[in-house]
Structure 1
Amino acid sequence: MGFNFTKWHGAGNDFVLVNGFTETILDFEKTAIAVCNRNFGIGADGLVIISPSEIADFKMRIFNSDGSEAEMCGNVTRCVARYVYENKLTEKTKIELETKAGIIRPEIIFENGIFNQVKVDMGEPILSGALIPVIGFGNNRIINEKILVDTIEYNMTCVSMGNPHCVIFVDDMKKINLNSIGPKLEVHKSFPKKINVEFAEIKNEHHIRMRVWERGAGITLACGTGSCATLVAAVLNNKTERKATLELDGGNLIIEWADNNHVYMSGPAQEVFHGVYL
């Protein structure tokens, strides 16, 4: 059975959006694997189903390119917010989205009547090792702790933004072979639910260069929750101010860890094309 879709990206992190109000997908895992294949499918980092919610304006389910379901994704949140507004599924510019990580609140920002960006209240970071989860730390924070991979020792800071992240600060991003180390860290025995991996190079107190290996998707051009986790980790390690530009492979995001303990993410959301998947 075919379905209509729209392809979107947020700073290069790309997704196939499906309107669950009108379209039917019977097997999400199998469909995500097929649709996200860049040679034989549409090509994307994830498949996203937008459907009715009993507790928010919309419900958003996210399936990675390997078929696994993600709790949350910051970049697709911006895309979904703009999608539902521009396709007249809502007249609201401040929207509530139900996710597996809870209610997420994006706001569409206009400048002189023209779309500018989407700002998302990503909620409060989770810093308890047991809740991220990371084995061996109890409820303690995991800040600049050692982790061993292939006889190489790294210093990690772990944060959950509704999904788990391991942030490693490096002096020179060019020396990191993300294709090699990313998948090994993702499935490291310390992480019972696997983990997203961010390598970050501090440029200055307001600028971080970051690359990401996403759990279930591999290297992606951007990661919204990963950017939030990286800014939080940088603050915890006294490396940056509480607001900074995150420079990603696919573009920039503005992240702020505000005084109310919520993390805010601002960035682009762009439709690429739409069509019918047969």
Structure 2
Amino acid sequence: MGSVAVAATDGMLHFELALAYEVFGSRPDAVPAPWYEVRVCGDAPVRLGRFVVEPDAGLDGLAGADTVIVPGVADVDAAPPAGLVEAVRAAHAAGARVVSLCTGAFVLAAAGLLDGLSATTHWAHTRQLAERFPRVRVDPDVLYVDNGRVLTSAGKAAAMDLCLHLVRLDHGPAVANVVARRLVVPPHRSGGQAQFVMTPVPQRDGHPLSALLPWVMARLDEPLTVEDLARRANLSSRQLARQFQAVTGTTPLRWLLTQRVRRAQELLESTDDSVEVIAVAAGMGTATTLRRHFQRTMGVPPDTYRRTFRA
């Protein structure tokens, strides 16, 4: 996997492009040659926000690379440039390993490369990706997905996780650790992007849940049941379930559990309270129950989460 081509078109996100170029374009002194040969491919000049990039080759240069990197696109509502989609499809057909960073997954999906495969993107756009490309199995919880010749990452910093994963595959864990150390980032992060997502409480004026949800959020430490919520909202349990599905996309019980885990996140970040105390404050009852649900939801145990996010 010696040659890496980074796609560049107007409207791409400069962070992901620069990140890929930094990882694959700079060989650490402690790593022996050979290293990657990197080129940026696009129509010159390319405008990335306030930055202008002069590519080394046109988009047709993607087809000659061993690995093709597609950085994120800023406007996921617009169809990706047809020339970029065709160039990525041609590179894959020529045998390249194709990698998307962040919302670059929309380009791979438009090229048909994710059909029937698991994939991910920035958590804020996973639902949109799934709705627009129903043949893609979108996983909103992971940092990246490796399908062999097609790989996708979640948003922003998760692009670094995937790039280091590629280095690990190509050069082994020792070299990946050296690269990570030079960049001052962990060589591997536990868990998925769920631990980085803060889910707002849905509210709509005049909606049956508009008053209920804030009421529940103020009482997460109490032993609330679905029947309690239905009674408060003056709805039957079945009606409550339908309203929750329509507004939050999940069931009342699952939503309640998610909010309890979020409360535990806040307390782990902002207090020195023990896991036992936090379990009670978040309505989990015991530390064992909190650890089980936190691990299942966040992908990491509470203590690990606190070490990562505590200021």
Per the normalisation by structure 1, the TM-score is: 0.33
Q: Give 1 or 2 for the bigger CA radius of gyration.
A: 2
Larger strand share, 1 or 2: 1
Larger helix share, 1 or 2: 2
Per the normalisation by structure 2, the TM-score is: 0.31
Greater relative contact order, per chain length (Cα 8 Å cut-off, separation 6+): 1
